[in-house]
Chain A
Amino acid sequence: MGVTCVSQMPIAEGKSVQQTVEILTRKLELLGAEKQGTFYVDCKTYHTAAATMGQTAKLMYVMHNSEYPLSCFSLFENGPCLKSDANCDVLMVKLKGFFQNTKGNKIESQGTRYQYCDFLVKVGTVTIGPSVLGISVEAEYCPCVVANDCWNLLMEFMQSFMGSHAPGIPSVFGNKHDSIYSPGDMMVQYMELFNQIRKQQQVPTAGIR
């Protein structure tokens, strides 16, 4: 487990999502990255039953990552992150009284995994059901576990194939200081990314309406 940075790749002008992904992957392949199968990250959203909490409904995200095939991550926004066995979903059905599914709750990112020396790059398309929403790019620097130590290196690497679209420092890194980066931090980043993409999706649709 290294340090990861999850970011969104905007869709190139006049290109479809698929084409943009292809451009990106071609760049990676030219760089010398090797294709290493596929990956997926999915996220189900639950909201707390207001009656039980007596407060404003909070959102809880239950996520899976193919990189951690036996684990399930459950996290609140800005809240704790719970790592558990993969059959946590089954438990959520039992907890229906407290956590309820939100509409169109499942968002996922699927794509190809590339390895370039010590770096892992995962380029995925973000979808809700059948609709494609955007592109996620995850870059991981495997040998390091302290985020701040390798952030510059990671950013430079991302710039090499993302160009100007390389992201700024993720907010998770700021909180971590010099502590060890954990898988939960990566999932928080994905959650934020998914939220961001969802919002972007809602804004244009709202505008059309």
Chain B
Amino acid sequence: MSGVQAVRISIESACEKHVQEVGLDGSETYLQPLSMSQNLARLAQRIDFSQGSSGSEEDEPNRDWAAGGEEEEEEEGLVKFQPSLWPWDSVRNNLRSALTEMCVLYDVLTIVKDKKFMTLDPVIQEPLSQKQNPQVLQLISKKKSLAGAAQILLKGAERLSKSVAESQENKRQRDFNSELLRLRQHWKLRKVGDKILGDLSYRSAGSLFPHHGTFEVIKNTDIDLDKKIPEDYCPLDVQIPSDLEGTAYIKVSIQKQAPDIGDLGTVNLFRRHLPKSKPGALHWQTKLETAQNVLLCKEIFAQLSREAVQIKSQIPHIVVKNQIISQPFPGLQLSISLCHSSDDKKSQRSASEKQGPEDHLYVLEHSLHQLIREFHKQTLSSTMMPHPASAPFGHKRMRLAGPQAFDKNEITSLQPSEGLLEKIIKQAKHIFLRRRTARTIDSLASRIEDPQIQAHWSNINDVYESSVKVLITSQGYEQICKSIQLQLNIGVEHIRVVHRDGRVITLSHQEQELQDFLLSQMSQHQVHAVQQLAKVMGWHVLSFSNHVGLGPVESIGNASAITVASPNGDYSISVRNGPESGSKVMVQFPRCQCKDLPKSDVLQDNKWNYLRGPFKEVQWNKMEGRNFVYKMELLMAALTPCS
């Protein structure tokens, strides 16, 4: 073999798949080829670590020993090639190799004991490696590939989120523009330099109030992108002037007594409960509307106080701080005050909580707003375009005054004669008079049960005039006693009473006058009721008078009286009813029924007995019956002979 030149033969396994078995029919069953990792594992199993350990470079502490070992091996190698010289040579060789093995084992154990360079792991058994190893490897590889995929995904997500944030930024920018567009639709805006300014004032609607009322539009895009965007976030914000911040309203109240002069001008502010929200989050529309309302309130108050100073009235109007005081009626005061509460004034709020809004007249506040808008409209329409070049400036109707030959009265009616204050005072007077009238009627109705008072208020009325229909009736006799129907027209200063028969009585604003009038009407009603009842019962009315000149003098009005006679003329009843003295009922009996009548010498004939005799008073409070008319009916029935 040594003489022949070596021939290189590469040996490969001819068949990739090992044949496991050959079937009887000649078919071969192959073993599934090992995968790369399985193959690797199998090859690793085959390595005999005990053989290669001496060649390992890591065994540095035992290097010299290992070198010694090599020398020995070389020696052994030399000895191997010698033929066996003596019979124990194989034994010696075996012992020697055993010694070497032992030394190596010893070295390995010392190294292992250190646990520094080598550790002992249990070698996985062949059958186990067949089953578990691929799974573990699979798991590891899957984990690895998953981690890779995850990394790719994360990278993509990051990129996505960045782009989303970018687009959101863009969107916010776009939102700002669309918000600005919406703002533009509702408010006047103009651009000054790099600022956008808006106009809150009512100047374009005809206001002459000098306040500029400018607000600034702010781009509110500097919000932190990473944080969650609040729901009520709005990219557009407005900055309103500091004096228009907060809420304001005009408080109108009518008070009975004048307060101490020390209280003047310190009107208690009570806050209206606005929906609580953060100042920044308030939507611009609400914010602007509130500010505009503040501006309008300020204008109303400025106008009112200007008029209050200019107008000369008998009792001068007082303007103190934020309050205007006027006296519409003696002992009564109308106070109009501007209540402006900004959010930061806590002290005012605490003061306000003491007093509620109970005396606030919302109707007048509303009509003040209405009046100022009318006023705006007037100023606006006065310079209405188009306008003829030859005509004088002014109201359109004023322009027509010349060509249509308006006389003085018509022209004066065109000119605005009354100011805001005068109008509102007139309205306040009317409201007060109406309330007092209602109270008077109600208190009378509750105090006096017989006769009854009914008041029918009209639902719709003018700001300066309202009407009420007052009916005076007796319970159970509503159908026959309709004589007293009063129409009360309540004006600004006076109450006009229109009677059913057309009489018109003008009462002043004094409460007592109306009360006296109603009392006298009620007293008259009783007598009227007796008259109506007499008609129904078949009695004859002998006399009737609304205003009797005889008897005790009444302090209110006049007493009224009626005398009725029974159907056959035997009896007669006389009723006198005064507003103060009450009713007095007397019955006249025929002469024959009066036992105690002294025999007269003159009237001897029997026929004179049919003459009427003296009157006797009926003890009215002892009569049965729930009211006057019922009692009267009973009395009449008792005196009517059954036929």
Report which A residues bind B (CB closer than 8 A). Answer: 1, 67-73, 83-87, 182-184
Q: List 8 interface pairs A-B (beta carbons < 8 Å), by A numbering.
A: A67-B408, A68-B407, A70-B402, A71-B401, A71-B404, A83-B403, A85-B390, A85-B402
Contact: B405 with A68, CB < 8 Å? yes
Residue numbers in B under 8 Å from A70 (CB-CB): 398, 401-402, 406, 411
B407, A83: Cβ atoms closer than 8 Å: no
List A contacts of B405 (CB < 8 A). Answer: 68, 71, 73, 83, 182-184
Q: Are A72 and B402 in contact (CB under 8 A)?
A: yes
A71: contacting residue among B390, B391, B398, B402, CB under 8 A: B402
Tell me how far the C-beta of A174 lies from the nearest C-beta in chain B, rounded to whole angstroms.
22
Q: Are B403 and A85 in contact (CB under 8 A)?
A: yes
Residue in B392, B403, B404, B411 whose CB lies within 8 Å of A69: B411
Within the assembled complex, what's the spacing in Å between the Cα atoms of A84 and B402?
Answer: 6
Compute how far the CA of A6 lies from the CA of B336 in the bound complex, rounded to whole angstroms: 53
Cβ of B474 to closest chain A Cβ, rounded Å: 44
Measured CB to CB, the nearest residue on chain A to B392 is A85
Residues of chain A within 8 A of B392, CB atoms compared: 85, 87
Residues from chain B with Cβ under 8 Å of A73 in the complex? 405
Contact (Cβ within 8 A) B403 A68: no
Give the complex CA separation of A67 and B411 in angstroms: 10
Rounded to whole angstroms, the CA-CA distance of A184 and B405 in the bound complex is 9
Q: For the complex, what is the distance from the CA of A84 to the CA of B411, rounded to whole Å?
A: 15
Interface contact B407-A84, CB-CB below 8 Å = no
The answer for the CA separation of A119 and B391 in the assembled complex, in Å, is 34
Residues of chain B in range 411-428 having any CB-CB distance to chain A below 8 Å:
411
A37: nearest chain-B partner, CB-CB: B408
C-alpha spacing A92/B408, complex, angstroms: 25
Task: Kindly identify, within residues 114 to 157 of chain B, every residue whose CB is under 8 Å from any CB belonging to chain A.
Answer: none
A1 touches B403 (CB 8 A): no
Partner of B407, one of A67, A85, A184: A67
A184: nearest chain-B partner, CB-CB: B405
A71 touches B408 (CB 8 A): no
In the assembled complex, the CB of B467 is this many whole angstroms from the nearest CB of chain A, namely: 26
Distance from A189 Cβ to chain B, minimum over Cβ atoms (Å): 15
Q: Looking across the interface, which residue of chain B has its beta carbon closest to that of A83?
A: B405
Please indicate the chain B residues that have their CB under 8 angstroms from the CB of A69 in the complex.
408, 411
* Distance in angstroms between the alpha carbons of A84 and B404 in the assembled complex: 7
How far apart are the CA atoms of A72 and B401 in the complex, in Å? 11
* Interface residues as binary, B379-392 with A (CB distance below 8 Å gives 1, 0 otherwise): 00000000000111
CB distance A85 to B391 under 8 Å? yes
Bound Cα distance from A114 to B249, whole angstroms: 50
**Closest B residue, CB atoms, query A1:** B407
Q: Which residues of B contact A83 (CB under 8 A)?
A: 402-405
Q: Taking CB as reference atom, which chain A residue is nearest B398?
A: A70
A62 to nearest B CB, angstroms? Answer: 14
Instruction: List 19 additional contacts besides A1-B407, A83-B403, A84-B403; criterion CB under 8 Å.
Output: A67-B408, A68-B407, A68-B408, A69-B411, A70-B398, A70-B401, A70-B406, A70-B411, A71-B401, A71-B404, A71-B406, A73-B405, A83-B404, A85-B390, A85-B391, A85-B392, A85-B402, A85-B403, A86-B402
Contacts of B391 in A (CB 8 A): 85
Minimum Cβ distance to chain A for residue B405 (Å): 4
Please give, as numbers and ranges, the residues of chain B lying within 8 Å of A182 by CB-CB distance.
405
Minimum CB–CB distance for B396 against chain A, Å: 14
Among B401, B402, B404, B408, the one with the most A-chain Cβ atoms within 10 Å of its Cβ is B402
A67 to B401, CA, bound (A): 12
Q: Which of A67, A70, A87: most chain B CB closer than 10 A?
A: A70
Task: Tell me, rounded to whole Å, the shortest Cβ–Cβ distance linking A205 to chain B.
Answer: 35
B353 to chain A, nearest CB (A): 58
Task: Identify the closest chain A residue to B410 (Cβ).
Answer: A1
Which residue of chain A has its CB nearest to the CB of B391? A85
Which chain B residue has the least Cβ–Cβ distance from A67?
A: B407
Question: For the complex, what is the distance from the CA of A36 to the CA of B392, rounded to whole Å?
Answer: 29
Q: In this complex, what residue of B is CB-closest to A39?
A: B408
Considering the complex, give the chain B residue whose CB is closest to the CB of A187: B405
Q: How far is the CA of A182 from the CA of B398 in the complex (A)?
A: 19
Q: Determine if A183 and B402 form an interchain contact, defined as CB atoms under 8 angstroms apart.
A: no
A72 to B404, CA, bound (A): 10
Nearest chain A CB to B582 CB, angstrom units = 45
The docked-state distance in angstroms from the alpha carbon of A146 to that of B293 is 53
- Cβ contact within 8 Å between B403 and A183: no
Task: Give B401's nearest chain A residue, CB to CB.
Answer: A70
B402 surroundings in chain A (CB, below 8 A): 70-72, 83-86
CA distance A180 to B408 in the complex (A): 19
Smallest CB-CB separation from A182: which chain B residue?
B405
Give the CA-CA distance A68 to B411 in the complex, in Å: 9
Chain A residues, Cβ within 8 Å of B404: 71, 83
A102 to B189, CA, bound (A): 62
Measured between beta carbons, the chain B residues less than 8 angstroms from A87 are 392
For A184, list chain B residues within 8 Å (CB): 405
Tell me the nearest residue of chain A to B399, going by C-beta: A85
Give Cα distance in the complex from A184 to B408, angstroms: 16
User: How many angstroms between the C-alpha atoms of A25 and B406 in the bound complex?
Assistant: 27
In the bound assembly, the distance between CA atoms of A69 and B414 in angstroms comes to 14
> What residues of B have a CB within 8 angstroms of the CB of A85 in the complex?
390-392, 402-403
How far, in whole Å, are A71 and B411 apart by their CA atoms in the complex?
11
Max count, chain A CB within 10 A of own CB: residue among B391, B401, B406, B407: B407
**Complex CA distance for A168 and B74, rounded to whole angstroms:** 175
Q: How does the 8 Å CB contact mask read for B28-51 relative to A, with 1 for contact and 0 for none?
A: 000000000000000000000000
Within 8 A of A (CB), among B460-474: none
How many Å from the CB of A29 to the closest CB on chain B?
22
Nearest-neighbour CB distance to chain B for A18, whole angstroms, equals 27
Q: How far is the CB of B400 from chain A (nearest CB, A)?
A: 9
- Name which residue of chain B comes closest to A66, CB basis: B408
Chain A residues, CB < 8 A from B411: 69-70
Q: Which residues of B contact A183 (CB under 8 A)?
A: 405, 407
Closest to B404 in A: A83
Nearest CB of A to B382, in Å: 16
Closest 3 CB pairs of A and B: A85-B402, A70-B402, A183-B405
| Cβ-closest chain B residue relative to A87 | B392
Q: List, in ascending order, chain B residues with CB within 8 A of A71's CB.
A: 401-406
Which of A1, A83, A85, A86 has the largest number of chain B CB atoms within 10 A? Answer: A85
A1-B403 Cα distance, complex, nearest whole Å: 15
CA distance A68 to B407 in the complex (A): 5
Closest chain A CB from B483 CB (angstroms)? 35
